[in-house]
Structure 1
């Protein structure tokens, strides 16, 4: 995803904190405050201009980010229709209407102002930044994540979104070429092995 837009990368990285755990189940990188702390430090854009190196999560922030992530995964599953969603999202997810409300509420929690930048040799760009008197804490973080998700869901990368259906995989990915079926070569290998075993288990005529 090296050439994808920042909001796409951030949204998929958040969704991919739900993952295959290597033992046949589903793992969660955000199951503890320590896990969220590590993830945010690896994704400093979540904190906008605040330094991420010494940032520490707390239980309310963990709950807010996990709630937002659930909404994002519901909307990613909705976006890949008519294909099936990722396996982790097929079991009684929140309704799409609830996911939309959750995402929009998070995005609206912190007011923003447009900030113009103009680097030498480049066209001017504008980005939204929290207003000087905006609320801080987990609301600022979830607002950033929600706005990134909205940018991705309404942007040009959405048409390439797919759910990986290799055995045990729960990831979403961007399809980068017409023949791509899986999120990674390792998933492709697992899927081909599974197909091979399935063919050989089929009763012979």
Structure 2
């Protein structure tokens, strides 16, 4: 199943759990094979792990996704986020914090940012940082769920009238269903 990406990274993480048009549940974080293509799509925003992720790694990512989703739901409903979700996000933020470095390349000094920690720790921290950015953004209240039946995708609309995660996918399905309803033969 092809998932839409390109929303803020934290929304893309939450959207790794989706429903197919038939209503079946699909989870990108179910296996390393289903997660790898998503990770490749995010390569401009996330560092790629140096080793394949394990089932235990994916369980940690699913847990983080659940906490992000819980905190996001609370923020969207304008209620306090559960303390356990915030504690989990804060823990993920601490495991591989970024640090600045300076190195010489010949006679030129260059600087940048690195992280210590395992591949999983770095990935969890990057995703938690993306959640922090989304959850503290004043526009987080604008996050919507796609209005198409069976779709659970969240998006941040660039236009206030946007109703679907994708006009080409969900929007088209709705338009086709409406057309069918208007033009179906009467018995």
> Does structure 1 residue 46 correspond to structure 2 residue 46?
yes
- For 2:46, what is the secondary structure of its paired residue? helix
Residues 72 and 149 in structure 1, CA contact (< 8 A), matched pair in contact too:
yes
Matches within 5 A, 1:113-152: 113-114=99-100, 129-130=114-115, 134-152=116-134
TM-score, normalization by structure 2: 0.72
> Does structure 1 residue 176 correspond to structure 2 residue 158?
yes
- For 1:19, what is the secondary structure of its paired residue? strand
What corresponds to 1:67 in structure 2?
A: 63
Cα distance change of structure 1 residues 146 and 53 upon mapping to structure 2, 3 Å threshold: closer
Cα distance change of structure 1 residues 54 and 143 upon mapping to structure 2, 3 Å threshold: closer
For residues 144-199 of structure 1, give each alpha carbon's deviation from its aligned partner in whole angstroms, at most 9, with x where no partner exists.
110111012112542431122320000000122122222222323444647x96xx
**Following the alignment from structure 1 to structure 2, what is the Cα–Cα distance between the partners of residues 155 and 115?**
28
**Following the alignment from structure 1 to structure 2, what is the Cα–Cα distance between the partners of residues 175 and 158?**
11
Cα distance change of structure 1 residues 54 and 111 upon mapping to structure 2, 3 Å threshold: closer
What corresponds to 2:10 in structure 1?
A: 11
- Deviation of 1:57 (Å): 1.2
Unaligned runs of 5+ in 2: 1-5, 103-110, 182-187
Residues 89 and 128 in structure 2, CA contact (< 8 A), matched pair in contact too:
yes
Residues 80 and 163 in structure 1, CA contact (< 8 A), matched pair in contact too:
no
> Does structure 1 residue 79 correspond to structure 2 residue 75?
yes
Root mean square deviation of aligned Cα: 3.1
**Following the alignment from structure 2 to structure 1, what is the Cα–Cα distance between the partners of residues 55 and 22?**
27
TM-score, normalization by structure 1: 0.67
Residues 12 and 172 in structure 1, CA contact (< 8 A), matched pair in contact too:
yes
- Deviation of 1:59 (Å): 1.9
How many equivalent residue pairs?
164
Residues 41 and 53 in structure 1, CA contact (< 8 A), matched pair in contact too:
no
